[in-house]
Amino acid sequence: MERRDFIRNASLTALSMSAFGNLIWDGVHFVGDTPTTTDILGPFYRPGAPIRNNLRLPNTKGTPIILKGNILKEDGKTPLKNALVEIWHCDENEVYDNATDDYKYRGGQTTNSKGKYEFKTILPVPYKADQADESSWRPAHIHMRISAPNQQDLITQIYFENGKYVESDPWASAPSAVNRILKITQMKSGESEVLFNVILGKEIPLDAKVYEKITGLYEVDDFTVEFIKSDDALFMKRNGQLVANLNYVGNNTFEGGGTSFPKVHFELLKDGSVKANISTKSKTYSGLKFLKY
Ligand code: BEZ
Ligand code: FE
């Protein structure tokens, strides 16, 4: 897709997300009951990164940071232990490790008994998404995915205060990202810390049999779409490339922070076939499932 369309479609996605993440420390506990907002998955997620809390490489020239926080239930107070927190970002040279077994600057960890996580990593740098397009610079950002039983799987991104390109990037500048533009605090220890607390929404359950019915390959207009279940997130691939992360919102409908497809409604037809209706603000596509796997 052309960068311009890509940005326009993505902005529509951002606008369709109305919840503002909001979390305030009242001296005793965190207060706030709005789930942390989602952001686009981006093209570079790799499931199955190593479980580790130190991602720093020995010879990096990047700026070391500690990224830490609390993962909380939808009430904004109850800590979630054993939640899986995955992060991925580029290195100090704008490079994402998309291929090696080292999974550089990629890792996951589970929260401790108090719902806390803490990664040692480096500050990523701004990233030029399209080498031929000067307008495609993204601000420094870290992608995150947080999964916990009975909670809605969250895919999001964090940005940094005063970061170059934060104001021009369609995702970082979206209203839903305001509470994800974070301060970098210089600590006495010499470390720089970034605090990101997360409230997960409550999972809306959907029967495993329904997931089984809706996952698979669909012929949509002149392209192929694949839906894959991963925890309670539904990933969508278009012509083989991951393009969207979706969450179940009820009534066989999924919504999410994908690049161009904010909403998918599945119809389970009487003859046993399954139809996917994929809608953006400007266009609706639909197609039938033709293959399980
Ligand atoms: C990224 O988040 O890394 C990304 C997003 C859009 C296009 C290219 C890269
Ligand atoms: Fe990225």
pLDDT reported for residue 3 = 38
What are the pLDDT digits (tens) for 30-73?
555 678 999 988 889 999 999 999 999 999 999 999 999 999 99
CB atoms within 10 A of CB 1: 13
What are the pLDDT digits (tens) for 248-267?
999 999 998 655 557 999 99
- 186-191's contacts with Cβ under 8 Å and 24+ in sequence apart are 191/64, 191/65, 191/66
Q: Which two structure tokens, joined as six digits, stand for 91? A: 């290195």
Ligand 1 contacts (CB < 6 A) are 42-44, 127, 129, 138
What is the pTM (predicted TM-score) of this model? 0.85
Residue nearest to atom 4 of ligand 1 (CA): 42
CATH tag for 3-199 (out of 3.20.140.10, 3.80.30.20, 2.60.120.460, 2.60.130.10): 2.60.130.10
pLDDT reported for residue 16 = 29
Distance from the alpha carbon of residue 143 to the mean position of ligand 2, in angstroms: 6
For the chain, the domains span 3-199, 208-291
Strands (E), 135-221: 137-138, 142-147, 154-160, 181-182, 185-186, 192-195, 198-199, 216-220
Does residue 168 have a pLDDT over 80? Answer: yes
Architecture of the 208-291 domain: Beta Barrel (2.40)
Amino acid at the residue 213: K
d(CA 55, CA 108): 10
Residue 26 binned pLDDT confidence (cut-offs 50, 70, 90):
low
Residue 24 binned pLDDT confidence (cut-offs 50, 70, 90):
low
Residue nearest to atom 3 of ligand 1 (CA): 42
d(CA 155, CA 237): 16
3-state DSSP assignment of residue 206? coil
- For the chain, how many residues are written? 293
Ligand nearest to the backbone CA of 141: 2
pLDDT reported for residue 193 = 98
Residue nearest to atom 5 of ligand 1 (CA): 42
What are the pLDDT digits (tens) for 108-144?
999 999 999 999 999 999 999 999 999 999 999 999 9
Residue nearest to atom 2 of ligand 1 (CA): 42
Residue nearest to atom 8 of ligand 1 (CA): 129
pLDDT reported for residue 19 = 34
Distance from the alpha carbon of residue 89 to the mean position of ligand 2, in angstroms: 6
Residue 242 binned pLDDT confidence (cut-offs 50, 70, 90):
confident
3-state DSSP assignment of residue 150? coil
Average pLDDT, the chain: 87
CB 107 within 8 A of CB 51: yes
Distance from the alpha carbon of residue 213 to the mean position of ligand 2, in angstroms: 31
Ligand nearest to the backbone CA of 9: 1
